[in-house]
């Protein structure tokens, strides 16, 4: 039912119920007033007739008893004299005296009346009304035992008729006026109600289809309005004109970090600023939607492919302009996924899903924007399949650890290893962590998975200890694991059970920008520290929280991210960053490890800057446990400073 039907229905209901109410009120009013007027009329009639009868009785007595006319029947002159006394409305006047019955006036109208007959028979004074078809009669019977005189008088009513007709006239007018007024009031109220109803309906509709923060249409609006685009005629039109309808899914990068660190008010302001920018891009064929959280959707019709791409570029560039909010300046960026209709989907859901897939790729590879292609879907499908196999993979022990050495500079002695997971997939072969770690992190297996990795690493450590190898193993944990209340207890039990010294286990926590919760991290790190395990911050310098981490967390190692190492030989800025970090870490009493060292030049440069610990393909790729053992034994026989490289 639409709103017009609803309001029409409401109007009708108000009108009908008001009319109904008016009728009921009028009916009650009429009936009460009618009864009242009748009672009043009767009482008036009674007073009037009684007075008349009293006078008549006096006169009758005077005439009958005056001249001692005690003969009956009365002679005609006396009768005439008595009749002359009667009012013209008196239609019955009968006298009983000395057992004589004299009918001065009588009529068949009342001859049958039981009330009168009863009064006469019992000689009891009484009165009453007789209603015949045309008129109303009032009778009064007065019997006086002193004189043995009884009189019956019947007369036509006047007061009653008058009262009733008087009242009924006015009643009719009043009832009509009440009715008329009620109908108008009802019409007025119903119009008022309808207006209010329509206004609140409009408001509700607006609230349901718009986002309160930015004022932009929301997801409900999108589904309501965009659906009309998707039909066979529209497909044909776009094919004939060689135009497309593009859906852009826009997601703010690192918005959660800003929200978490700067507070929701700043986050809100940022969203408003971005929404304004997107609206500035709008032309008549486009629409900006706040799809949810930090996600916006823009749709634009009648574009050619070049226009569609330049719109995506415009969105990316526009959102990269610094935004100032509450005296802070934010360097924002967005990732945009684009899907074309009809090529990339003929339904809104498909287009959004595909644009979303493209957006994730753009975000992951920091591309700015990505146009959907079928291969992306295949890859997503592949990952979805992997997600479904996680549980079985854990149960079937398909996750195995490889170990990459950490070396001491400049002599390159192996001082520890980092445990890196691999998935021995029965169909896909050896899968590297970048294919599945994020799937695990997003799943409920993340805690179970990490505990399993800790178990494997500790078992390996025990095995090496049994063979006389004392080699610290670093295990990677995801920031999500910090939320696992049993993590520390579990690790403690493992260390005890396998009798592995805690100092041989190191926990590497990625400085993941999407999980900045310093308080929680500090709390868990303190517990881990108490156990005696070593702690390190991984990929240092990539997240937003680097300095907060380094300041607030009591860690042993800082692993400087590979991105600073790649160009350290050629780019003096990277060199400056690393030198600075080294000084900082030294001041804060933390050891640094440089990651991703691939060339001798890099190694020499880093050593000259003061790096003491390194990891990278130059020294060794990640190896199986056996590979590490043979590398260690090789190292033993190496006598000079030659760099070990098994590649």
Asked whether position 539 contacts Ca ion by CB under 5 A, the answer is: yes
d(CA 633, CA 488): 34
Select the binding partner of residue 104 from ligand C2E, Ca ion, none (C-beta < 5 to 8 A, by kind). none
Identify what 484 binds: ligand C2E, Ca ion, none; CB under 5 to 8 Å per kind.
Answer: none
Distance CA(217)–CA(207), nearest Å, equals: 9
Q: Return the structure tokens found at 547.
A: 């300095």
With CB under 5 to 8 Å by kind, the binding choice for 434 among ligand C2E, Ca ion, none is: ligand C2E
295 in Cβ contact with 223 (< 8 Å): no
Q: Please, what is the minimum distance in Å from the beta carbon of residue 388 to ligand C2E?
A: 20
What is the spatial distance between Cα 388 and Cα 171, in angstroms, rounded to a whole number? 83
Give the shortest CB-315-to-Ca ion separation in angstroms: 32
Q: Which two three-digit tokens encode residue 216?
A: 């932009």
| x/- letters, 4..43, toward Ca ion (CB under 5 A) | ----------------------------------------
Angle at 97 between CA 96 and CA 102, to 5 degrees: 50
Alpha-carbon Rg for the chain in angstroms = 53
508 binds Ca ion (CB under 5 A): yes
Segment interacting with Ca ion, rule: CB under 5 A, options 18-26, 362-370, 485-493, 535-543: 535-543
In the bound state with Ca ion, the residue whose beta carbon lies nearer, of 82 and 507, is 507
Instruction: Give, as one character, the DSSP assignment of residue 643.
Output: P
Task: Give the separation between CA 379 and CA 377, rounded to whole angstroms.
Answer: 5
DSSP-assigned letter for residue 74: P
Cα–Cα distance measured from residue 644 to residue 647, given in angstroms and rounded to the nearest whole number = 9
Candidates 230-238, 262-270, 337-345, 536-544 — which segment interacts with Ca ion by CB under 5 A?
536-544
Q: Which is nearer to ligand C2E, 238 or 559 (CB)?
A: 559
Nearer Cβ to ligand C2E (152/593): 593
Of the candidates 538, 582, 593, 625, which one interacts with Ca ion according to CB under 5 A?
538
Question: What is the phi-psi region of residue 254: left when phi exceeds 0, alpha when psi lies from -120 to 50, beta otherwise?
Answer: left
Strand order from edge to edge, sheet including 100-105:
100-105, 90-97, 149-156, 136-144, 126-131
Residue 269 interacting with Ca ion (CB under 5 A)? no
* Distance (Å) of CA 550 to CA 190, 263, 274: 69, 22, 32
If the CB atoms of residues 337 and 596 are measured against ligand C2E, the closer one turns out to be 596
Q: Map residues 302-321 to x or -, x wherever contact with Ca ion holds by CB under 5 A.
A: --------------------
Taking the complex as a whole, the smallest distance from the CB of residue 538 to Ca ion amounts, in Å, to 4
Q: By the 8 A CB rule, do 598 and 616 touch?
A: yes
Among ligand C2E, Ca ion, none, partner that 477 touches (CB below 5 to 8 angstroms by kind): ligand C2E
260 makes contact with Ca ion (CB under 5 A): no
Do residues 474 and 419 touch, judged by C-beta distance below 8 A? yes
Give the footprint of ligand C2E on this chain (CB under 6 A): 404, 420-421, 432-434, 437, 453, 476-478, 510, 538-539, 595-598, 615-617, 622
- Residue 297 beta carbon to Ca ion: minimum distance, rounded to whole angstroms: 35
Element (H, E) at 417: strand 413-425
323 has which bridge partners? Answer: 330
Q: Residue 94 or residue 539: which is nearer to Ca ion going by CB?
A: 539
Q: Binding partner of residue 524 among Ca ion, ligand C2E, none, CB under 5 to 8 Å per kind?
A: none
Which positions from 443 through 502 interact with Ca ion, judged by CB under 5 A? 476
- Out of ligand C2E, Ca ion, none, what residue 622 binds, judged by CB under 5 to 8 A for its kind, is ligand C2E
φ, ψ of residue 232 in degrees (nearest 5): -60, -35
Q: One symbol per residue from 573 to 602: x for binding Ca ion (CB under 5 A), - otherwise; what is it?
A: ----------------------x-------
Least separation in angstroms between CB 469 and ligand C2E: 21
| Beta pairing, strands 399-408 & 413-425 | antiparallel
Beta bridge partner(s), residue 155: 90, 138
140 vs 440, beta carbon nearer Ca ion: 440
Residue 368 DSSP symbol: S
What minimum distance in Å lies between the beta carbon of 465 and ligand C2E?
Answer: 21
Q: Looking at beta carbons only, is 141 or 557 nearer to Ca ion?
A: 557
Phi and psi of 341, rounded to 5°?
-105, 135
Partner in contact with 99, chosen from ligand C2E, Ca ion, none, beta carbon below 5 to 8 Å by kind: none
Q: Two tokens at 519? A: 């308080």
Asked whether position 441 contacts Ca ion by CB under 5 A, the answer is no
- Nearer to ligand C2E by C-beta: 368 or 596? 596
CA distances, 640 to each of 414, 628, 644 (Å):
14, 20, 11
Q: How far is the CB of 401 from ligand C2E (least distance, A)?
A: 7
From the list ligand C2E, Ca ion, none, which binds 335 (C-beta under 5 to 8 Å, kind-based)? none
Which letter does DSSP use for residue 333 in this model?
-
Cα separation, 631 vs 475, whole angstroms: 20
Query: Contact positions toward Ca ion, by CB under 5 A?
Result: 476, 508, 538-539, 595
């Amino acid at each position: 039912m639409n709103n017009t039907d609803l309001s029409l229905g409401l109007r009708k209901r108000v009108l009908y119920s008001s009319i109904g109410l008016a009728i009921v009120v009028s009916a009650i009013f009429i009936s009460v007033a009618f009864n009242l007027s009748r009672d009043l009329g009767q009482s008036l009639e009674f007073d009037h007739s009684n007075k008349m009868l009293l006078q008549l009785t006096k006169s009758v007595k005077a005439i009958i008893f005056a001249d001692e006319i005690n003969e009956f029947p009365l002679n005609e002159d006396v009768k005439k004299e008595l009749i002359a006394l009667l009012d013209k409305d008196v239609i019955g006047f009968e006298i009983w005296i000395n057992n004589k019955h004299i009918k001065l006036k009588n009529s068949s109208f009342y001859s049958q009346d039981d009330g009168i007959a009863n009064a006469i028979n019992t000689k009891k004074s009484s009165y009453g009304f007789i209603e015949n078809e045309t008129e109303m009669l009032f009778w009064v019977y007065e019997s006086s035992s002193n004189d043995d005189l009884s009189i019956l008088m019947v007369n036509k009513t006047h007061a009653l008729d008058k009262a009733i007709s008087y009242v009924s006239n006015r009643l009719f007018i009043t009832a009509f006026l009440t009715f008329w007024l009620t109908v108008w009031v009802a019409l007025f109220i119903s119009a008022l109600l309808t207006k209010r109803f329509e206004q609140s309906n409009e408001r509700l509709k607006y609230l349901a289809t718009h986002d309160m923060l930015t004022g932009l249409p929301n997801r409900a609006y999108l589904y309501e309005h965009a659906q009309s685009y998707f039909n066979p005629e529209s497909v044909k039109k776009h094919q004939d004109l060689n135009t497309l309808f593009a859906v852009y899914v826009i997601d703010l990068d690192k918005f959660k970090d800003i929200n978490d660190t700067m507070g929701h008010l700043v986050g809100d302001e940022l969203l408003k600023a971005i929404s304004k920018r997107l609206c500035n891009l709008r032309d008549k064929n486009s629409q900006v939607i706040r799809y949810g959280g930090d996600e916006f959707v823009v749709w634009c019709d009648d574009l050619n492919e070049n226009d569609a791409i330049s719109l995506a570029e415009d969105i990316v560039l526009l959102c990269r302009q610094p935004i100032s909010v509450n005296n802070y300046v934010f360097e924002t960026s967005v990732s945009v996924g684009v899907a074309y209709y009809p090529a990339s989907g003929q339904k809104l859901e498909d287009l959004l899903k595909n644009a979303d897939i493209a957006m994730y790729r753009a975000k992951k590879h920091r591309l700015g924007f990505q146009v959907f292609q079928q291969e992306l879907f295949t890859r997503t499908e592949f990952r979805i399949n992997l997600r479904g196999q996680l549980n079985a993979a854990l149960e079937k022990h398909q996750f195995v650890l490889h170990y990459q050495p950490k070396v001491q500079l400049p002599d390159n002695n192996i001082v520890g290893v980092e445990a890196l997971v691999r998935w021995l997939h029965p169909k896909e072969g050896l899968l590297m962590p970048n294919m599945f770690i994020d799937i695990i992190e997003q799943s409920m297996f993340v805690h179970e998975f990490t505990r399993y990795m800790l178990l494997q690493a500790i078992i390996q450590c025990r095995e090496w200890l049994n063979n006389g190898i004392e080699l610290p193993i670093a295990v990677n944990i995801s920031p999500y694991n910090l939320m696992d209340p049993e993590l520390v207890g579990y690790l403690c039990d493992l260390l005890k059970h396998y009798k592995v010294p805690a100092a041989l286990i190191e926990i590497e926590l990625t400085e993941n920008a999407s999980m900045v919760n310093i308080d929680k991290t500090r709390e868990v790190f303190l517990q881990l520290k108490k156990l005696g395990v070593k702690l390190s911050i991984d990929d240092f310098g990539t997240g937003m929280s680097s300095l907060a981490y380094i300041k607030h967390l009591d860690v042993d190692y800082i692993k400087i991210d590979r991105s600073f190492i790649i160009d350290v030989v050629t780019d003096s800025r990277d060199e400056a960053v690393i030198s600075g970090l080294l000084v900082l870490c030294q001041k804060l009493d933390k050891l640094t490890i440089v990651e991703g060292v691939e060339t001798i030049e890099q190694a020499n440069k880093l050593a000259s800057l003061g790096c003491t610990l390194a990891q990278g393909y130059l020294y060794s790729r990640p190896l199986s446990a056996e590979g590490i053992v043979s590398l260690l034994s090789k190292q033993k026989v190496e006598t000079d400073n030659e760099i070990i490289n098994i590649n």
